[in-house]
Amino acid sequence: MSHQHSAQATAVDIDAYNSTAVRLPEGALHELFAGQAVRTPDAVALVCGDRELSYRQLDTAAAVLAHRLLARGVRPGDSVGLFQDRSLAFVVAVLAVLKAGGAYIPLDPRQPEERRAFILADTGAVLLLTDRDEHATAFAGTVPVLRLTDDVIAPAEHAPPLEVAVHPNQLAYVMYTSGSSGTPKGVANTHRNVVELALDPWWGAADRHARVLAYSPPAFDSSTYELWVPLLSGGTAIVLPAPKLDIAELASAITEHRATAMYFTTA
């Protein structure tokens, strides 16, 4: 190959890599997920220990819970707190809040009660979803609490279609900074923001991100990548429920569940 041809090929490669003109699908997160569930209903969406949920099962469970949220007064634009450990039920709750038109607010159980109470008040949360008992949610104050049991991942009934309009520019979630240098600040992302991250063509190359390890705390922004990159592309999120994991446990999970991608902080 001549030097000229080599330079031209390199220029084309760089242009392709840096191109931002890729047209992404329009729609809210849960709508795009539902579309994926239609295309791959029996593919495994979530794995947690020895339990699995297919795309169809996850979409159905989230729709049933979304109807419960609507019955509890959740309306488009409302904030709903999530005080749950990583689990299949947590992902069902995330999708259900979005299907009901709300924005999910994950709360970190490692933070003080005062911090969690501040976040609920700051976001104007209308409901708190939790897997904990009454004593553990005293910080909610006057915010109503809905306790979720394990049944939420396998509802007995099917839900009728949801008639909730959600614009891609509507808030999907709010996550808070640590507040170590002052008052915690909420970082808000829209459905469109998350879709642009999750459907970036780079992730899909050679199926590198088809089986993603989901082990970040739900209130950390890395959890956005861990859930939505696989779930919007027919992949699998491998949910690790333990609050803390050492290197040996991570290595075992990576091998057992054949993870192809994971996110590590420098620490």
8-54, pLDDT tens digit by residue?
Answer: 444 445 455 455 556 778 899 999 999 999 999 999 999 998 999 99
3-state secondary structure the chain: CCHHHHHHHHHHHHHHHHCCCCCCCCCCHHHHHHHHHHHCCCCEEEEECCEEEEHHHHHHHHHHHHHHHHHCCCCCCCEEEEECCCCHHHHHHHHHHHHCCCEEEECCCCCCHHHHHHHHHHHCCCEEEECCCHHHHHHHCCCCEEECCHHHHCCCCCCCCCCCCCCCCCEEEEEECCCCCCCCCEEEEEHHHHHHHHCCHHHHHHHCCCEEEECCCCCCCHHHHHHHHHHCCCCEEEECCCCCCCHHHHHHHHHHCCCCECCCCCC
**53-99 pLDDT per residue, tens:** 999 999 999 999 999 999 999 999 999 999 999 999 999 999 999 99
- The CATH homologous superfamily to which domain 26-152+170-256 belongs is ANL, N-terminal domain (3.40.50.12780)
**159-196 pLDDT per residue, tens:** 888 989 999 999 999 999 876 667 888 999 999 999 99
**125-154 pLDDT per residue, tens:** 999 999 999 999 999 999 999 999 989 999
